Structure 1
Amino acid sequence: MKKILVTGADGFIGSHLVEELLRRGYQVRAFVLYNSFNSWGWLDHASAELRAQLEVFAGDIRDPHGVRQAMQGCDTVLHLAALIAIPYSYHSPDTYIDTNIKGTLNVLQAARELGGVKVVHTSTSEVYGTAQFVPITESHPLQGQSPYSASKIGADQLAYSFFASFGLPVSIVRPFNTYGPRQSARAVIPTIITQIASGQRVLRLGAVHPTRDFNYVQDTVSGFIAAAESENGIGEVVNLGSSFEISIGDTVALIAEVMGVEVSIETDSQRLRPENSEVERLWASNDKARALFGWQPAFAGHEGLRRGLQHTVAWFTEPGNLAAYKTDRYNI
């Protein structure tokens, strides 16, 4: 590969992905959201050595001209740019259509016009909704239980349509619940850790009975790179999951154990999803990723989750990192 464009490079997963690509010797152009502060998001925290190797393009995924310009000279695009907060999608669903669907269309159109640029498109386990069977394979029905998940279903189908209609080399990677350093406190694991780290022992959370398949960010990143490097995933949807299921409540207990504290939980009604929108159960089958890419999670099972949480806790409890989070406020 000559050069890789990473959209959403300023975000949680995107910044880790950019850093790992650079460490592996790839040429990387990072597409970050334009802002007047000249901020590159989490890439501002990359080492000086890595930043020196990095080419940055500031733009907006909703702008087709900018997307096409950013893709010039690249032969692969890892498309991560998206709005991902589920609660905010109840509030402002229109923005999810513009960013997640129209933004994906812009990426696909540019890749086609520039001559078959390979696209690795980011899906989400949320498109499955509550599991109808477990472990969830790629043939599981799609259920848009939130405006966010509906927008991602639409984006996924657009991505596949450009493979089916135009022969564009598209792979659809479907990560399950990624966690790790830099994640937004909108997500449950950072919410738990930052509340404990700021001294709270009664944690304010939403529903704790649903189950999730948590994946340490290092595993998700290695899955994206495997998809980019392989031709086996063209035209395919591939889960990236640990194939380990744990409830939110048990996750709280494990984090408290790792952090050496005792906690209790208080239900915060504003953190609850509408009843029919809550995804009650997620548990991934990762057989296809193993078969096509030779990918397997390094942080699998209960012990893998514990190790990933230890790394995550260590990062969040650094005073400088914790200070970036407003632990006394809930942000949709």
Structure 2
Amino acid sequence: MSSKQKILVTGADGFIGSHLTEELVRQGYSVKAFVLYNSFNSWGWLDHSTKDVIESLEVFSGDIRDPYGVKEAMKGCDIVLHLAALIAIPYSYHSPATYVDTNVKGTLNIVQAARELGVEKVVHTSTSEVYGTAQFVPITEEHPLQGQSPYSASKIGADQIAMSFYQSFNTPVSIIRPFNTYGPRQSARAVIPTVITQIANGTRKIKLGALHPTRDFNYVKDTVRGFIAIAESENAIGEVINIGSNFEISIGDTVQLIAEAMGVQIDIETDEIRLRPEKSEVNRLWADNTKAKQIAGWEPLYSGREGFKRGLAETADWFMNPANLAGYKSDRYNI
């Protein structure tokens, strides 16, 4: 990947997408940011980017569900980093059709346009949720796929659509499979921002769902580096690659680490509304990241318990800024 190449980032207005867009600009790439069209002329998190980043960006407002707009956005682009998706699991329980439209059909629109336009590379974003509860650990890319929520099922479908274009038409597709990314700007429907925002607003009785599940948390800076490493790797085409820290920790222990990082004592209260249906809960995630090292030369900089504590401290600092915290409704459950 050379800085002369033009990169389209879909979902550039989102949590990971905005960080990725900013880093690509900082590295000197020509970047087109695909954001969800809305009448407020909002570019999501990119509205919070520095002036020099915004001035360097070409912004395209559209909808990933619309094949015409998608193809228009992709014209003149060499590489597409496809992050646009619906990701909230609870929302997928009551509005599953939107997940098929956005995640499956949206991905089809990307790879179809890539095939027609002769794009050099598409990096499609998967998720560790496609694995469901670990059948073995650490989880390699060969682990069976299990659709334990409509969200997870839609991402499995999207991954398979993307890979089918590689198999059928030789469309140059790589699939990045990040484990649980966290960091500044993350939605409060995710567990780490939920805890941080409640503490930051003075609450010491923290409302949470299940505490026993384990996760492999990946700091957003590491996830962004993973996207760029896979985009740059010639060996990544036709491959599915886990991006994870190879460090497993329970939700309960994570909450205690956050409290330590923020210097407070807390009590945890189970909030029934936050519990997933029993068979839908993913009880264990732990990434094997060997393939990412071998194929893309990537490994996490925020690894192990100490790396996780560093990432949590940086995340908490960002949320503690009153201007950032004001954008979150910590007193109510976000889906």
For the aligned pair, the TM-score class normalised by the smaller chain equals over 0.9
Superposed CA deviations along residues 73-106 of structure 1, whole A, max 9, x for unmatched, are: 0010000000000000001000000000000000
| Distance across 1 between alignment mates of 2:206 and 2:229 | 38
Specify the alignment match of 2:274 in structure 1: 271
Specify the alignment match of 2:305 in structure 1: 302
Specify the alignment match of 2:16 in structure 1: 13
1:116 Cα deviation after fit: 3.6
| Distance across 1 between alignment mates of 2:7 and 2:213 | 37
| Distance across 2 between alignment mates of 1:237 and 1:305 | 25
Letter in 1 for 2:284: R
1:67 Cα deviation after fit: 0.2
1:129 Cα deviation after fit: 0.1
1:141-290 equivalent positions in 2, closer than 5 A: 141-290=144-293
Task: Give the alignment partner of residue 92 of structure 1, picking from 91, 95, 105.
Answer: 95
Specify the alignment match of 2:105 in structure 1: 102
Superposed CA deviations along residues 209-241 of structure 1, whole A, max 9, x for unmatched, are: 000000000000000000111111100000000
Letter in 2 for 1:91: H
Q: Does 1:81 align with 2:84?
A: yes
| Distance across 2 between alignment mates of 1:169 and 1:311 | 36
Runs of 4+ in structure 1 off by over 6 angstroms are none
Letter in 1 for 2:201: S
| Unmatched runs of 5 consecutive residues or more in structure 2 | none
| Distance across 2 between alignment mates of 1:249 and 1:44 | 34
Length-normalised TM-score, structure 1: 0.99
1:331 Cα deviation after fit: 1.8
Q: Secondary structure in 2 aligned to 1:232?
A: helix
Task: Give the alignment partner of residue 127 of structure 2, picking from 121, 124, 129.
Answer: 124
Task: Give the alignment partner of residue 54 of structure 1, picking from 57, 60, 64.
Answer: 57
1:57-72 equivalent positions in 2, closer than 5 A: 57-72=60-75
Over aligned residues, Cα RMSD in angstroms?
0.5
Specify the alignment match of 1:33 in structure 2: 36
Specify the alignment match of 1:136 in structure 2: 139
Q: Secondary structure in 2 aligned to 1:119?
A: strand
Specify the alignment match of 2:326 in structure 1: 323
| Distance across 1 between alignment mates of 2:27 and 2:229 | 12
| Distance across 1 between alignment mates of 2:315 and 2:119 | 38
